[in-house]
Structure 1
């Protein structure tokens, strides 16, 4: 079965490397997956939501045929900004913002030092991001995390593609880092649940691929 393109967009502090276990599972189920690296996680404090959104637009423009976009965590913001042309969206523990909002505002203000340009990896990364990932794999993943531009949590969005594009929201049942306010937004959108932590693409890639494929 040819399910079409599946564009994978990583969250804050991550990179396209985080999908390495999920990609072969998706290919085995008939998807044509691809992944991009967001500028805001490249170590540049100058890149924010709109630079990331442009990277999403460019990746979408390079794909022929039907496209589903999977956004993880922070990626929900640039995907919401840029992916109005997609056929379907998947919000995996991903932030949903309305036009005029930004993350820090929704959370009641920044949780980091005022004026910070780059944000260090959340600690303890193992417990927050990868608690149910095997030790060796979790250590590898934690070693790949990089500082994140703070701008992404302060930039105001002007679009919400998930309002117009069919969207599958997914909530991870034991997610230790995803803000409850955003989990509630996913549930209000009819979220399905997946066992485990914030990083099912590492802890249970086959189950995640099954869920993605069963829903579309």
Structure 2
């Protein structure tokens, strides 16, 4: 069994894992969540940095922890390994950072621009949110209506500064066990972009889920099953190697 830390994506929070948590605990895993800085903690978005986000994730990591990062959380879960060494990383339809590029750089480098005017910048320019009329098509088009209503009630502003800051991928990252879950119906991060970000990964570390950008709502059971299968293939540091 694993200690699993779930890290949310843009404009979301720990609330988005509502349906996945019980599905994972049913497999016997310990499941924890985190609200990244600037998400429900009262901090001004202008004061939140990428390093703050990376360190917030690192503070929750033990050598037994497998970190699951959704969407933009690919950045802070990658940066966190400069400060803590997890058991492994799982990228859930997430950005896989390239040293010297910010998330905004990577989004612009994608094969298609999917968000466009759906992102509404705050008057002070320090955060953005997704227009509620656009969010269902971008994030939740295959999700149950109750989950969509729940999500629309909880979507929150996303600090821009962390996403505009380039990340240097830590040296330790290359040797860590890591897996990617590509979502074939994703309308936020194009599935072909997800494939290109992991083109040089071993096939056994790249998995496919028939879901859009929010499988934690659309398919919590299949997602939990896949994460459980992945964790079984990530070495447990408490067990002696043979």
Q: Common fold, TM-score beyond 0.5?
A: yes
Count of paired positions: 211
Work out which of the two has the higher radius of gyration on C-alpha atoms and give 1 or 2: 2
Report what 1:121 is aligned to: 130
Report what 1:31 is aligned to: 29
CA-CA distance at 1:41 after TM superposition:
3.1
CA-CA distance at 1:182 after TM superposition:
4.4
Report what 2:187 is aligned to: 176
Report what 1:202 is aligned to: 217
CA-CA distance at 1:103 after TM superposition:
1.7
CA-CA distance at 1:166 after TM superposition:
0.7
CA-CA distance at 1:183 after TM superposition:
4.2
Counterparts of 1:146 and 1:32 in 2: how far apart (Å)? 27
Report what 2:178 is aligned to: 167
CA-CA distance at 1:121 after TM superposition:
1.8
Report the 3-state secondary structure (helix = DSSP H, G, I; strand = E; otherwise coil) of the residue aligned with 1:69: strand
Q: Say whether the 8 Å CA contact 1:119–1:149 is kept in structure 2.
A: yes
CA-CA distance at 1:48 after TM superposition:
2.6
**Unpaired segments ≥5 residues, structure 1:** none
Q: Say whether the 8 Å CA contact 2:72–2:103 is kept in structure 1.
A: no
Q: CA RMSD in A?
A: 2.3
**Unpaired segments ≥5 residues, structure 2:** 232-242
Per-residue deviation, residues 9-59 of structure 1 (Å, max 9, x unmatched): 001100001111111111111210000000143463221321111110111
Report the 3-state secondary structure (helix = DSSP H, G, I; strand = E; otherwise coil) of the residue aligned with 1:41: coil
Q: Say whether the 8 Å CA contact 1:89–1:162 is kept in structure 2.
A: no
Report what 2:107 is aligned to: 107
Counterparts of 1:181 and 1:18 in 2: how far apart (Å)? 23
CA-CA distance at 1:177 after TM superposition:
0.5
**TM-score with structure 1 setting the length:** 0.88
1:59 lines up with 2:64 in the alignment: no
Counterparts of 2:195 and 2:71 in 1: how far apart (Å)? 10
Report the 3-state secondary structure (helix = DSSP H, G, I; strand = E; otherwise coil) of the residue aligned with 1:6: strand
Per-residue deviation, residues 172-211 of structure 1 (Å, max 9, x unmatched): 0000011453442034424211001111111111100100
Report what 2:234 is aligned to: none
**TM-score with structure 2 setting the length:** 0.79
Report the 3-state secondary structure (helix = DSSP H, G, I; strand = E; otherwise coil) of the residue aligned with 2:56: helix
